């Protein structure tokens, strides 16, 4: 049913209201006649710059927090050669290990060698000499390489070996570097591998596997070819472990033969 009023009915009702004395129309909702009209807020007045005396009393503004890994990546990518990378690492100030080390331990051997070995961190002897693997573990490593015809002192890319460490500074008391310290050095290692451009990598020990593969467990990882830093990589026991556990030399020898066979296959 249509409830809308027609013109004549509405007029009749209005005239009837007027006869009753109605003289104004009342809305469905009340209107507050005393309320103020809303006003637009005044634009804020720019604050005056503090005087030098007032500025000296203000608390210091905290500097934005630096991401050490991002800084490492930026610094590493700017290096155009190994000398530039070494300088970039020497100028990196975000790793606390640098404070307690005597010097930066960068690399040893022939940079153009087909095999690049990545160890863990310098020890006392390496910290003094400024070269990786120069103590008893280094002597063991040299004998291991010689057993398959490799020599870090050779200038022949096919017979030489290029050696470095994940950490360029010695941790105090030869402790394992922390995950944060390793993460800072990964961008430098990525750039190191790219600039040296070896055919094959040897990941020597747990820390090297953690940096290159993101996992540890050298007894499980060793002997299995994988990929790290975009290169074929073979995890192997650290020579220091072999000095403590001579019974593991059998597995270490099998890994060296695997490396030798891989090199011959590439040739």
Give pLDDT tens digits for 205-245. Answer: 999 999 999 999 999 999 999 999 999 999 999 999 999 99
- Please list the residues that pair with 107 across neighbouring strands: 164
Question: How far apart are alpha carbons 136 and 173 in whole angstroms?
Answer: 17
141-172 pLDDT per residue, tens: 999 999 999 999 999 999 999 999 999 999 99
The verdict on residue 19 lying in a domain is no
The verdict on residue 133 lying in a domain is yes
Positive or negative, the CA dihedral 142, 144, 147, 150 is: negative
The verdict on residue 152 lying in a domain is yes
Q: What pLDDT does 36 receive?
A: 65
The verdict on residue 259 lying in a domain is yes
Provide the 3-class DSSP secondary structure of residue 141: helix
Residue with tokens 């003289």: 23
Q: What pLDDT does 10 receive?
A: 75
Residue 208 belongs to what domain range? 68-266
CATH number of the domain that 116 lies in?
Answer: 3.40.470.10
The verdict on residue 118 lying in a domain is yes
- The closest of 140, 142, 207 to 174, measured between CA atoms, is 207
The verdict on residue 44 lying in a domain is no
Tell if the pTM clears 0.85, that is, is over it: no
User: Taking the CB of residue 97, how many other CB atoms lie within 10 A of it?
Assistant: 20
Per 3-state DSSP, the chain is made up of helix, strand and coil in percentages (nearest 5) of 45, 10, 45
The verdict on residue 129 lying in a domain is yes
The verdict on residue 47 lying in a domain is no
Give the chain's domain count.
Answer: 1
């Amino acid at each position: 049913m249509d409830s809308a009023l027609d013109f004549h009915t509405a007029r009749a009702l209005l005239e009837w209201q007027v006869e009753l004395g109605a003289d104004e129309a009342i809305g469905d909702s009340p209107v507050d006649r005393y309320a103020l009209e809303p006003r637009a807020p005044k634009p804020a007045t720019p604050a005056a710059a503090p005087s030098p005396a007032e500025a000296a009393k203000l608390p210091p503004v905290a500097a934005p927090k630096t991401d050490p890994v991002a800084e490492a990546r930026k610094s590493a990518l700017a290096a155009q050669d190994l000398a530039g990378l070494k300088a970039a690492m020497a100028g990196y100030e975000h790793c606390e290990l640098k404070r307690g080390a005597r010097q930066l331990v960068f690399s040893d051997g022939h940079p153009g060698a087909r095999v690049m070995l990545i160890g863990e961190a310098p020890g006392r002897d390496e910290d003094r000499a400024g070269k990786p693997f120069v103590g008893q573990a280094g002597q063991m490593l040299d004998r291991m390489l010689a057993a398959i015809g490799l020599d870090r002192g050779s200038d022949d890319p096919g017979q030489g070996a290029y050696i470095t460490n994940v950490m360029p500074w010695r941790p105090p008391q030869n402790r394992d570097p922390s995950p944060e310290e390793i993460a800072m050095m990964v961008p430098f290692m990525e750039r190191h591998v790219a600039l040296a451009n070896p055919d094959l990598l040897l990941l020597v020990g747990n820390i090297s596997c953690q940096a290159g593969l993101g996992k540890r467990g050298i007894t499980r990882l060793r002997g299995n070819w994988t990929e790290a830093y975009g290169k074929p990589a073979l995890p192997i026991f650290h020579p220091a472990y072999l000095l403590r556990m001579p019974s593991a030399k059998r597995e270490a020898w099998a890994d060296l033969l695997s490396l030798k066979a891989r090199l011959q296959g590439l040739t």
